[in-house]
Structure 1
Amino acid sequence: MKVAVVTGASSGIGQSAAVQLAKRGVGVILTYSSNREGAKETVAQIEQLDGTAVALSLDIGDTAGFPAFGEAVAGALAGAFGRESFDYLVNNAGFAGMAMIEDTVEQQFDRLTTGLFKGPFFLTQTLLPLLADGGAIVNLTSNSTLAQVTAPGYSVYAALKGAMAVLTRYMAKEFSVRGIRVNSVAPGATRTRFADDAFAKNPEIIPELARTFALGRIGEPDDIGMVIAMLLSEEGRWITGQDIEVSGGQNL
Protein backbone atom coordinates (compact mmCIF):
# COMPACT_ATOMS: atom_id res chain seq x y z
CA MET A 1 0.00 0.00 0.00
CA LYS A 2 1.19 3.49 -0.88
CA VAL A 3 1.17 5.94 2.04
CA ALA A 4 0.75 9.72 2.04
CA VAL A 5 1.41 12.36 4.68
CA VAL A 6 -1.14 15.17 4.33
CA THR A 7 -0.74 18.19 6.59
CA GLY A 8 -3.70 20.29 7.67
CA ALA A 9 -6.24 17.59 6.79
CA SER A 10 -8.87 18.24 9.45
CA SER A 11 -11.01 20.23 7.00
CA GLY A 12 -11.15 21.85 3.58
CA ILE A 13 -8.60 21.10 0.90
CA GLY A 14 -6.40 18.95 3.12
CA GLN A 15 -9.33 16.80 4.18
CA SER A 16 -10.43 16.41 0.57
CA ALA A 17 -6.91 15.46 -0.55
CA ALA A 18 -6.68 12.82 2.18
CA VAL A 19 -10.06 11.30 1.25
CA GLN A 20 -9.37 11.43 -2.49
CA LEU A 21 -6.08 9.62 -1.95
CA ALA A 22 -7.83 7.01 0.18
CA LYS A 23 -10.29 6.44 -2.66
CA ARG A 24 -7.26 5.49 -4.76
CA GLY A 25 -6.14 2.93 -2.17
CA VAL A 26 -3.54 5.12 -0.49
CA GLY A 27 -3.05 4.97 3.28
CA VAL A 28 -2.95 8.37 4.97
CA ILE A 29 -1.10 9.94 7.87
CA LEU A 30 -2.89 13.22 8.35
CA THR A 31 -2.18 16.15 10.62
CA TYR A 32 -4.23 18.67 12.52
CA SER A 33 -3.44 21.62 14.75
CA SER A 34 -6.43 22.72 16.85
CA ASN A 35 -9.26 20.91 15.05
CA ARG A 36 -8.99 17.46 16.59
CA GLU A 37 -12.65 16.67 15.87
CA GLY A 38 -12.16 17.50 12.21
CA ALA A 39 -9.19 15.12 12.09
CA LYS A 40 -11.33 12.37 13.62
CA GLU A 41 -13.94 13.05 10.94
CA THR A 42 -11.33 12.70 8.20
CA VAL A 43 -10.14 9.40 9.68
CA ALA A 44 -13.74 8.19 9.88
CA GLN A 45 -14.40 9.06 6.23
CA ILE A 46 -11.31 7.15 5.17
CA GLU A 47 -12.23 4.14 7.30
CA GLN A 48 -15.69 4.13 5.70
CA LEU A 49 -13.85 3.61 2.42
CA ASP A 50 -12.09 0.59 3.99
CA GLY A 51 -8.92 2.66 4.10
CA THR A 52 -6.36 3.20 6.84
CA ALA A 53 -5.61 6.59 8.38
CA VAL A 54 -3.70 7.90 11.37
CA ALA A 55 -4.09 11.44 12.74
CA LEU A 56 -1.12 13.23 14.30
CA SER A 57 -0.89 16.65 15.89
CA LEU A 58 1.35 19.19 14.14
CA ASP A 59 1.91 22.92 14.57
CA ILE A 60 3.35 24.03 11.23
CA GLY A 61 4.54 27.23 12.90
CA ASP A 62 6.67 25.39 15.49
CA THR A 63 9.76 24.12 13.71
CA ALA A 64 11.30 23.04 17.02
CA GLY A 65 8.66 20.32 17.18
CA PHE A 66 9.51 18.83 13.78
CA PRO A 67 12.07 16.22 14.94
CA ALA A 68 9.50 14.75 17.35
CA PHE A 69 6.89 14.83 14.60
CA GLY A 70 9.27 12.95 12.30
CA GLU A 71 9.59 10.28 14.98
CA ALA A 72 5.80 10.13 15.28
CA VAL A 73 5.48 9.63 11.53
CA ALA A 74 8.05 6.82 11.65
CA GLY A 75 6.08 5.22 14.47
CA ALA A 76 2.79 5.51 12.58
CA LEU A 77 4.36 4.02 9.46
CA ALA A 78 5.63 1.01 11.38
CA GLY A 79 2.54 0.54 13.52
CA ALA A 80 -0.28 1.12 11.03
CA PHE A 81 1.30 0.28 7.70
CA GLY A 82 4.29 -1.98 8.38
CA ARG A 83 6.46 0.48 6.46
CA GLU A 84 9.69 2.37 7.09
CA SER A 85 8.94 5.00 4.46
CA PHE A 86 6.03 6.83 2.84
CA ASP A 87 5.40 7.77 -0.78
CA TYR A 88 3.61 11.12 -0.96
CA LEU A 89 3.76 14.41 0.93
CA VAL A 90 1.13 17.14 0.72
CA ASN A 91 2.26 20.41 2.28
CA ASN A 92 -1.17 21.92 2.85
CA ALA A 93 -1.14 23.18 6.45
CA GLY A 94 -1.02 26.93 6.89
CA PHE A 95 -3.11 29.93 7.79
CA ALA A 96 -4.23 33.22 6.37
CA GLY A 97 -3.49 36.77 7.39
CA MET A 98 -4.63 40.06 5.96
CA ALA A 99 -3.29 43.60 6.43
CA MET A 100 -2.44 46.50 4.20
CA ILE A 101 1.30 46.99 3.79
CA GLU A 102 1.24 50.22 5.81
CA ASP A 103 -0.52 48.42 8.68
CA THR A 104 1.50 45.17 8.74
CA VAL A 105 3.41 44.65 11.97
CA GLU A 106 6.59 42.61 12.24
CA GLN A 107 5.03 40.00 14.53
CA GLN A 108 2.30 39.29 11.98
CA PHE A 109 4.87 39.18 9.16
CA ASP A 110 7.03 36.69 11.07
CA ARG A 111 4.06 34.48 11.98
CA LEU A 112 2.98 34.22 8.35
CA THR A 113 6.54 33.62 7.16
CA THR A 114 6.98 30.74 9.60
CA GLY A 115 3.62 29.15 8.87
CA LEU A 116 3.55 29.54 5.10
CA PHE A 117 7.20 29.18 4.07
CA LYS A 118 9.69 28.33 6.82
CA GLY A 119 7.42 25.62 8.24
CA PRO A 120 6.80 23.73 4.98
CA PHE A 121 10.49 24.11 4.03
CA PHE A 122 11.85 22.55 7.21
CA LEU A 123 9.05 20.01 7.54
CA THR A 124 9.94 18.70 4.09
CA GLN A 125 13.59 18.61 5.12
CA THR A 126 12.66 16.68 8.28
CA LEU A 127 10.55 14.11 6.43
CA LEU A 128 12.80 13.70 3.41
CA PRO A 129 14.72 10.72 4.86
CA LEU A 130 11.38 8.91 5.27
CA LEU A 131 10.13 9.73 1.75
CA ALA A 132 10.65 6.82 -0.61
CA ASP A 133 12.63 7.19 -3.82
CA GLY A 134 10.23 7.64 -6.72
CA GLY A 135 7.74 9.43 -4.49
CA ALA A 136 6.02 12.77 -5.00
CA ILE A 137 5.30 16.04 -3.21
CA VAL A 138 2.53 18.59 -3.74
CA ASN A 139 2.82 22.02 -2.15
CA LEU A 140 -0.20 24.31 -1.80
CA THR A 141 0.32 27.80 -3.18
CA SER A 142 -2.40 30.26 -4.27
CA ASN A 143 -3.58 32.05 -7.37
CA SER A 144 -3.20 35.25 -5.34
CA THR A 145 0.37 35.17 -6.66
CA LEU A 146 -0.95 35.96 -10.16
CA ALA A 147 -1.28 39.48 -11.52
CA GLN A 148 -4.96 39.12 -12.39
CA VAL A 149 -5.91 38.10 -8.83
CA THR A 150 -4.02 40.76 -6.86
CA ALA A 151 -6.12 41.82 -3.84
CA PRO A 152 -5.14 44.62 -1.44
CA GLY A 153 -4.28 43.33 2.01
CA TYR A 154 -2.72 40.04 0.97
CA SER A 155 0.78 41.22 0.09
CA VAL A 156 2.61 39.08 2.66
CA TYR A 157 0.41 36.02 2.17
CA ALA A 158 0.70 36.14 -1.62
CA ALA A 159 4.45 36.83 -1.56
CA LEU A 160 5.02 33.81 0.65
CA LYS A 161 2.86 31.60 -1.55
CA GLY A 162 4.95 32.88 -4.46
CA ALA A 163 8.04 31.81 -2.55
CA MET A 164 6.53 28.33 -2.22
CA ALA A 165 6.02 28.19 -5.98
CA VAL A 166 9.70 28.98 -6.50
CA LEU A 167 10.70 26.49 -3.80
CA THR A 168 8.64 23.85 -5.59
CA ARG A 169 10.77 24.27 -8.71
CA TYR A 170 14.00 23.98 -6.73
CA MET A 171 12.74 20.94 -4.83
CA ALA A 172 11.83 19.33 -8.15
CA LYS A 173 15.37 19.90 -9.40
CA GLU A 174 17.20 18.76 -6.27
CA PHE A 175 14.99 15.76 -5.46
CA SER A 176 14.94 14.50 -9.06
CA VAL A 177 18.12 12.52 -8.40
CA ARG A 178 15.92 10.28 -6.24
CA GLY A 179 13.10 10.19 -8.78
CA ILE A 180 10.90 12.35 -6.54
CA ARG A 181 8.50 14.64 -8.39
CA VAL A 182 7.46 17.98 -6.87
CA ASN A 183 4.61 20.18 -8.01
CA SER A 184 2.41 22.83 -6.48
CA VAL A 185 -1.28 23.59 -6.79
CA ALA A 186 -2.58 27.17 -6.75
CA PRO A 187 -6.26 27.23 -5.76
CA GLY A 188 -8.59 30.10 -6.44
CA ALA A 189 -11.13 31.19 -3.81
CA THR A 190 -12.44 27.93 -2.34
CA ARG A 191 -15.16 27.18 0.22
CA THR A 192 -13.03 26.21 3.25
CA ARG A 193 -12.42 27.43 6.81
CA PHE A 194 -9.84 29.82 5.32
CA ALA A 195 -9.59 33.34 6.78
CA ASP A 196 -11.50 32.46 9.96
CA ASP A 197 -14.26 30.63 8.07
CA ALA A 198 -15.05 33.73 6.03
CA PHE A 199 -17.50 32.14 3.58
CA ALA A 200 -19.59 30.50 6.31
CA LYS A 201 -19.73 33.72 8.30
CA ASN A 202 -20.33 35.98 5.31
CA PRO A 203 -22.33 33.97 2.73
CA GLU A 204 -23.54 37.18 1.08
CA ILE A 205 -20.10 37.69 -0.50
CA ILE A 206 -20.25 34.42 -2.44
CA PRO A 207 -22.54 35.38 -5.36
CA GLU A 208 -20.54 38.49 -6.22
CA LEU A 209 -17.26 36.60 -5.95
CA ALA A 210 -18.63 33.75 -8.07
CA ARG A 211 -19.14 36.20 -10.94
CA THR A 212 -15.35 36.62 -11.16
CA PHE A 213 -14.98 32.95 -12.14
CA ALA A 214 -15.31 31.92 -15.78
CA LEU A 215 -17.09 28.75 -14.64
CA GLY A 216 -19.53 30.74 -12.54
CA ARG A 217 -18.88 29.54 -8.99
CA ILE A 218 -16.29 29.52 -6.23
CA GLY A 219 -14.23 26.42 -5.70
CA GLU A 220 -15.11 23.44 -3.54
CA PRO A 221 -12.49 21.42 -1.63
CA ASP A 222 -12.87 18.41 -3.94
CA ASP A 223 -12.06 20.59 -6.96
CA ILE A 224 -8.58 20.92 -5.48
CA GLY A 225 -8.29 17.59 -3.67
CA MET A 226 -8.84 15.58 -6.84
CA VAL A 227 -6.07 17.47 -8.64
CA ILE A 228 -3.69 16.87 -5.75
CA ALA A 229 -4.46 13.15 -5.83
CA MET A 230 -3.96 13.06 -9.60
CA LEU A 231 -0.56 14.79 -9.41
CA LEU A 232 0.65 12.32 -6.81
CA SER A 233 -0.60 9.28 -8.70
CA GLU A 234 0.50 7.49 -11.83
CA GLU A 235 -1.42 9.98 -14.00
CA GLY A 236 1.03 12.67 -12.91
CA ARG A 237 4.19 10.66 -13.46
CA TRP A 238 5.60 13.00 -16.15
CA ILE A 239 4.75 16.27 -14.38
CA THR A 240 7.28 17.96 -12.11
CA GLY A 241 8.37 21.47 -11.21
CA GLN A 242 4.96 22.96 -12.08
CA ASP A 243 2.70 25.40 -10.25
CA ILE A 244 -0.77 24.52 -11.52
CA GLU A 245 -3.61 27.00 -11.08
CA VAL A 246 -6.91 25.33 -10.17
CA SER A 247 -9.39 28.19 -10.07
CA GLY A 248 -12.23 27.74 -12.53
CA GLY A 249 -10.86 30.62 -14.56
CA GLN A 250 -10.90 33.29 -11.85
CA ASN A 251 -10.59 36.73 -13.45
CA LEU A 252 -9.93 35.07 -16.79
Structure 2
Amino acid sequence: MSSSLAKIAIVTGGSRGIGRSVVLNLAKRGVDSIFTYYTNQAEAEKVAAQVREAGRRAVALQLDATQTASFSDFAERASAALAELGAERFDYLVNNAGTSHHNSLAQTTEEELDQLYNVHFKGVFFLTQKLLPLLNDGGRIVNVSTGLTRIVIPGSAAYGSMKGAVEVLTRYMAKELGPRRIAVNTVAPGAIATDFSGGMVRDNPELNKQVAGMTALGRVGQPDDVGGAIASLLSDEQRWVNAQRIEVSGGMSI
Protein backbone atom coordinates (compact mmCIF):
# COMPACT_ATOMS: atom_id res chain seq x y z
CA MET A 1 0.00 0.00 0.00
CA SER A 2 1.46 3.38 -0.99
CA SER A 3 2.09 5.86 1.78
CA SER A 4 2.93 9.53 1.85
CA LEU A 5 5.84 8.49 4.10
CA ALA A 6 7.44 6.59 1.21
CA LYS A 7 10.79 7.79 -0.05
CA ILE A 8 10.61 9.60 -3.39
CA ALA A 9 13.22 9.75 -6.15
CA ILE A 10 13.58 12.07 -9.13
CA VAL A 11 15.27 10.21 -12.00
CA THR A 12 16.15 11.91 -15.28
CA GLY A 13 15.94 9.82 -18.43
CA GLY A 14 13.75 7.26 -16.69
CA SER A 15 11.74 6.00 -19.64
CA ARG A 16 14.42 3.72 -21.09
CA GLY A 17 17.65 1.87 -20.49
CA ILE A 18 19.45 2.36 -17.20
CA GLY A 19 17.07 5.10 -16.01
CA ARG A 20 14.07 2.83 -16.49
CA SER A 21 15.85 0.10 -14.54
CA VAL A 22 16.56 2.55 -11.71
CA VAL A 23 12.88 3.51 -11.47
CA LEU A 24 11.74 -0.12 -11.44
CA ASN A 25 14.42 -1.25 -8.97
CA LEU A 26 13.49 1.60 -6.64
CA ALA A 27 9.83 0.55 -6.88
CA LYS A 28 10.82 -2.95 -5.71
CA ARG A 29 12.43 -1.27 -2.70
CA GLY A 30 9.28 0.68 -1.88
CA VAL A 31 10.39 3.99 -3.39
CA ASP A 32 8.06 6.18 -5.48
CA SER A 33 9.48 8.09 -8.46
CA ILE A 34 9.11 11.19 -10.52
CA PHE A 35 11.02 10.49 -13.71
CA THR A 36 11.65 12.37 -16.92
CA TYR A 37 11.42 11.44 -20.56
CA TYR A 38 12.55 13.41 -23.59
CA THR A 39 10.07 12.61 -26.40
CA ASN A 40 8.57 9.14 -25.95
CA GLN A 41 5.59 9.71 -23.68
CA ALA A 42 4.03 6.33 -24.54
CA GLU A 43 7.14 4.50 -23.34
CA ALA A 44 7.21 6.64 -20.19
CA GLU A 45 3.60 5.73 -19.42
CA LYS A 46 4.49 2.04 -19.77
CA VAL A 47 7.19 2.46 -17.13
CA ALA A 48 4.74 4.27 -14.83
CA ALA A 49 2.28 1.40 -15.30
CA GLN A 50 4.99 -1.14 -14.37
CA VAL A 51 5.69 0.83 -11.20
CA ARG A 52 1.99 0.73 -10.31
CA GLU A 53 2.01 -3.04 -10.88
CA ALA A 54 4.80 -3.22 -8.31
CA GLY A 55 2.54 -1.42 -5.82
CA ARG A 56 4.29 1.95 -5.97
CA ARG A 57 3.58 5.26 -7.68
CA ALA A 58 5.36 7.13 -10.46
CA VAL A 59 4.82 10.39 -12.30
CA ALA A 60 6.38 10.91 -15.75
CA LEU A 61 7.35 14.48 -16.70
CA GLN A 62 8.72 15.68 -20.04
CA LEU A 63 12.14 17.34 -19.88
CA ASP A 64 14.81 18.35 -22.37
CA ALA A 65 17.88 18.15 -20.14
CA THR A 66 19.80 20.55 -22.42
CA GLN A 67 17.35 23.44 -21.95
CA THR A 68 18.47 25.07 -18.72
CA ALA A 69 15.99 27.93 -19.21
CA SER A 70 13.19 25.40 -18.65
CA PHE A 71 14.52 24.11 -15.32
CA SER A 72 12.65 26.60 -13.12
CA ASP A 73 9.42 25.49 -14.76
CA PHE A 74 10.43 21.84 -14.30
CA ALA A 75 11.05 22.44 -10.59
CA GLU A 76 7.52 23.82 -10.32
CA ARG A 77 6.10 20.81 -12.16
CA ALA A 78 8.15 18.51 -9.92
CA SER A 79 6.74 20.29 -6.88
CA ALA A 80 3.20 19.71 -8.19
CA ALA A 81 4.05 16.04 -8.83
CA LEU A 82 5.34 15.74 -5.26
CA ALA A 83 2.02 17.10 -4.04
CA GLU A 84 0.29 14.34 -6.07
CA LEU A 85 2.42 11.88 -4.13
CA GLY A 86 1.49 13.52 -0.82
CA ALA A 87 4.85 15.15 -0.21
CA GLU A 88 6.55 18.53 -0.35
CA ARG A 89 10.11 17.31 -0.84
CA PHE A 90 11.95 14.33 -2.29
CA ASP A 91 14.81 12.13 -1.09
CA TYR A 92 16.90 10.93 -4.03
CA LEU A 93 18.11 12.57 -7.24
CA VAL A 94 19.56 10.45 -10.06
CA ASN A 95 21.11 12.53 -12.87
CA ASN A 96 20.99 9.91 -15.60
CA ALA A 97 19.71 11.60 -18.79
CA GLY A 98 22.25 11.81 -21.57
CA THR A 99 23.22 11.17 -25.16
CA SER A 100 26.03 9.13 -26.63
CA HIS A 101 28.74 10.39 -28.97
CA HIS A 102 31.33 8.65 -31.11
CA ASN A 103 33.74 10.75 -33.14
CA SER A 104 37.48 11.27 -33.33
CA LEU A 105 39.30 14.21 -31.79
CA ALA A 106 40.05 15.42 -35.32
CA GLN A 107 36.46 15.23 -36.56
CA THR A 108 34.34 16.30 -33.55
CA THR A 109 32.57 19.58 -34.26
CA GLU A 110 32.01 22.51 -31.93
CA GLU A 111 28.27 21.87 -32.17
CA GLU A 112 28.73 18.26 -31.05
CA LEU A 113 30.89 19.33 -28.11
CA ASP A 114 28.40 22.01 -27.07
CA GLN A 115 25.55 19.49 -27.16
CA LEU A 116 27.49 17.10 -24.93
CA TYR A 117 28.36 19.92 -22.54
CA ASN A 118 24.74 21.05 -22.34
CA VAL A 119 23.29 17.66 -21.45
CA HIS A 120 26.10 16.00 -19.49
CA PHE A 121 27.55 18.87 -17.47
CA LYS A 122 25.62 22.13 -17.67
CA GLY A 123 22.30 20.31 -17.46
CA VAL A 124 23.38 18.24 -14.45
CA PHE A 125 24.82 21.30 -12.70
CA PHE A 126 21.82 23.57 -13.07
CA LEU A 127 19.05 20.97 -12.72
CA THR A 128 20.59 19.89 -9.42
CA GLN A 129 20.82 23.54 -8.39
CA LYS A 130 17.13 24.13 -9.16
CA LEU A 131 16.02 20.99 -7.32
CA LEU A 132 18.14 21.44 -4.17
CA PRO A 133 15.41 23.43 -2.35
CA LEU A 134 13.08 20.44 -2.82
CA LEU A 135 15.62 17.80 -1.74
CA ASN A 136 15.37 16.60 1.84
CA ASP A 137 18.32 17.04 4.18
CA GLY A 138 19.92 13.63 4.58
CA GLY A 139 19.06 12.78 0.96
CA ARG A 140 21.21 11.26 -1.76
CA ILE A 141 22.37 12.22 -5.24
CA VAL A 142 23.81 9.84 -7.83
CA ASN A 143 25.37 11.24 -11.00
CA VAL A 144 25.74 8.71 -13.81
CA SER A 145 29.12 8.76 -15.54
CA THR A 146 30.80 6.16 -17.76
CA GLY A 147 33.57 3.60 -17.72
CA LEU A 148 35.10 5.71 -20.51
CA THR A 149 36.56 8.14 -17.97
CA ARG A 150 38.96 5.32 -17.03
CA ILE A 151 38.99 3.07 -20.11
CA VAL A 152 40.29 5.11 -23.05
CA ILE A 153 38.73 4.10 -26.36
CA PRO A 154 39.47 6.32 -29.38
CA GLY A 155 36.38 8.16 -30.56
CA SER A 156 35.12 8.87 -27.06
CA ALA A 157 37.29 11.86 -26.10
CA ALA A 158 34.48 14.44 -25.99
CA TYR A 159 31.96 12.19 -24.24
CA GLY A 160 34.46 10.78 -21.74
CA SER A 161 35.79 14.25 -20.91
CA MET A 162 32.32 15.63 -20.14
CA LYS A 163 31.64 12.69 -17.87
CA GLY A 164 35.01 13.28 -16.23
CA ALA A 165 33.81 16.79 -15.39
CA VAL A 166 30.72 15.28 -13.78
CA GLU A 167 32.93 13.07 -11.61
CA VAL A 168 34.79 16.14 -10.32
CA LEU A 169 31.49 17.95 -9.83
CA THR A 170 30.27 15.01 -7.73
CA ARG A 171 33.08 15.53 -5.22
CA TYR A 172 32.37 19.25 -4.99
CA MET A 173 28.66 18.54 -4.49
CA ALA A 174 29.51 16.09 -1.70
CA LYS A 175 31.63 18.69 0.07
CA GLU A 176 29.20 21.60 -0.31
CA LEU A 177 26.11 19.57 0.54
CA GLY A 178 27.75 17.75 3.45
CA PRO A 179 26.34 20.21 6.02
CA ARG A 180 22.88 19.09 4.85
CA ARG A 181 23.93 15.43 5.26
CA ILE A 182 23.37 14.83 1.54
CA ALA A 183 25.65 12.11 0.14
CA VAL A 184 26.68 12.44 -3.51
CA ASN A 185 28.30 9.69 -5.57
CA THR A 186 29.08 8.78 -9.17
CA VAL A 187 28.12 5.48 -10.75
CA ALA A 188 30.14 4.71 -13.88
CA PRO A 189 28.61 1.93 -16.00
CA GLY A 190 30.62 -0.17 -18.37
CA ALA A 191 29.21 -1.17 -21.76
CA ILE A 192 25.53 -2.01 -21.26
CA ALA A 193 23.13 -3.75 -23.65
CA THR A 194 20.56 -0.95 -24.12
CA ASP A 195 19.39 1.21 -27.04
CA PHE A 196 22.15 3.72 -26.13
CA SER A 197 24.45 4.49 -29.08
CA GLY A 198 21.82 3.07 -31.40
CA GLY A 199 21.85 -0.23 -29.51
CA MET A 200 25.29 -1.14 -30.82
CA VAL A 201 26.41 -3.18 -27.78
CA ARG A 202 23.04 -4.93 -27.56
CA ASP A 203 22.48 -5.58 -31.26
CA ASN A 204 25.96 -6.09 -32.77
CA PRO A 205 27.02 -9.70 -32.00
CA GLU A 206 30.67 -9.04 -32.87
CA LEU A 207 30.89 -6.00 -30.57
CA ASN A 208 28.96 -7.82 -27.87
CA LYS A 209 31.49 -10.65 -27.97
CA GLN A 210 34.39 -8.18 -27.95
CA VAL A 211 33.05 -6.40 -24.86
CA ALA A 212 32.39 -9.70 -23.08
CA GLY A 213 36.00 -10.67 -23.78
CA MET A 214 37.22 -7.45 -22.13
CA THR A 215 35.12 -8.10 -19.01
CA ALA A 216 36.29 -10.25 -16.09
CA LEU A 217 32.81 -11.70 -15.55
CA GLY A 218 32.65 -12.71 -19.22
CA ARG A 219 29.50 -11.01 -20.45
CA VAL A 220 28.04 -7.65 -21.45
CA GLY A 221 26.24 -5.69 -18.75
CA GLN A 222 22.44 -5.49 -18.60
CA PRO A 223 20.41 -2.45 -17.48
CA ASP A 224 19.41 -4.13 -14.20
CA ASP A 225 23.09 -4.65 -13.34
CA VAL A 226 23.39 -0.87 -13.08
CA GLY A 227 19.84 0.03 -12.03
CA GLY A 228 20.07 -2.33 -9.08
CA ALA A 229 23.45 -0.91 -8.07
CA ILE A 230 22.12 2.66 -8.12
CA ALA A 231 19.01 1.71 -6.15
CA SER A 232 21.25 0.01 -3.59
CA LEU A 233 23.55 3.03 -3.37
CA LEU A 234 20.55 5.25 -2.54
CA SER A 235 19.54 3.02 0.35
CA ASP A 236 20.24 3.79 3.99
CA GLU A 237 22.66 0.85 4.20
CA GLN A 238 25.00 2.84 1.94
CA ARG A 239 24.72 6.08 3.93
CA TRP A 240 28.46 6.28 4.66
CA VAL A 241 29.49 6.00 0.99
CA ASN A 242 30.12 9.55 -0.17
CA ALA A 243 32.09 11.40 -2.87
CA GLN A 244 33.00 8.12 -4.60
CA ARG A 245 33.23 6.98 -8.21
CA ILE A 246 31.81 3.46 -8.30
CA GLU A 247 32.37 1.62 -11.54
CA VAL A 248 29.69 -0.94 -12.35
CA SER A 249 31.22 -2.79 -15.28
CA GLY A 250 31.73 -6.42 -14.32
CA GLY A 251 35.46 -5.72 -14.31
CA MET A 252 36.11 -4.24 -17.76
CA SER A 253 39.71 -3.76 -18.87
CA ILE A 254 41.34 -4.62 -15.56
Task: Quickly name the TM-score band, shorter chain normalised.
Answer: over 0.9
Q: Which residue of 2 aligns with 1:228?
A: 230
Tell me the TM-score normalised to structure 2 length. Answer: 0.96
Counterpart of 1:141 (choices 140, 145, 157) is: 145
Q: Which residue of 2 aligns with 1:152?
A: 154
Counterpart Cα distance in 1 of 2:245 and 2:224: 18
Q: Relative to structure 1, is the Cα distance of residues 24 and 92 closer, same or farther in structure 2, using a 3 angstrom cutoff?
A: same
Q: Which residue of 1 aligns with 2:39?
A: 34
Counterpart Cα distance in 1 of 2:71 and 2:200: 30
Tell me the TM-score normalised to structure 1 length. Answer: 0.97
Counterpart of 2:201 (choices 193, 199, 202) is: 199
Q: Tell me, what secondary structure is at the counterpart of 1:103?
A: coil
Counterpart Cα distance in 2 of 1:167 and 1:214: 29
- Please state how far the C-alpha of 1:40 moved relative to its aligned partner: 1.3
One-letter amino acid matched to 1:14: G
Counterpart of 1:13 (choices 15, 18, 26) is: 18
* CA offset digits 1:31-63 (Å, max 9, x no partner): 100222221121111111011000000101111
Q: Which residue of 2 aligns with 1:165?
A: 167
Counterpart of 2:29 (choices 13, 24, 37) is: 24
Once the two structures are overlaid, the 10-residue window that deviates more, 218-227 or 38-47, is: 38-47
Counterpart Cα distance in 2 of 1:2 and 1:10: 20
Q: Which residue of 2 aligns with 1:44?
A: 49
Q: Which residue of 1 aligns with 2:180?
A: 178
- Please state how far the C-alpha of 1:200 moved relative to its aligned partner: 4.4
Residues 13 and 38, structure 2, Cα contact 8 Å, conserved in 1: yes
- Please state how far the C-alpha of 1:197 moved relative to its aligned partner: 2.2
Q: Which residue of 1 aligns with 2:3?
A: none
Q: Which residue of 1 aligns with 2:67?
A: 62
Q: Tell me, what secondary structure is at the counterpart of 1:101?
A: coil
Counterpart Cα distance in 2 of 1:62 and 1:2: 28
Counterpart check, 1:94 vs 2:98 = yes
| 1:66-145 mapped onto 2 (5 Å cutoff) | 66-79=71-84, 81-145=85-149
Counterpart check, 1:188 vs 2:190 = yes
Question: Share of identical aligned residues, percent?
Answer: 51
Counterpart Cα distance in 1 of 2:39 and 2:182: 31
* CA offset digits 1:48-101 (Å, max 9, x no partner): 10110000001011111101100000000012x111100000000010111111
- Please state how far the C-alpha of 1:203 moved relative to its aligned partner: 3.3
One-letter amino acid matched to 1:89: L
One-letter amino acid matched to 1:143: G
- Please state how far the C-alpha of 1:192 moved relative to its aligned partner: 1.2
Once the two structures are overlaid, the 10-residue window that deviates more, 99-108 or 202-211, is: 202-211
- Please state how far the C-alpha of 1:201 moved relative to its aligned partner: 4.3
Q: What is the number of equivalent residue pairs in this alignment?
A: 249
Q: Which residue of 1 aligns with 2:211?
A: 209
- Structure 2 spans left out of the alignment, 5+ residues: 1-5
- Structure 1 spans left out of the alignment, 5+ residues: none
Q: Tell me, what secondary structure is at the counterpart of 1:134?
A: strand
One-letter amino acid matched to 2:152: T
* CA offset digits 1:115-171 (Å, max 9, x no partner): 11100110000100000100000000111001xx21111101000111111100000
One-letter amino acid matched to 2:106: E
Counterpart Cα distance in 1 of 2:210 and 2:202: 15
Counterpart Cα distance in 2 of 1:46 and 1:8: 15
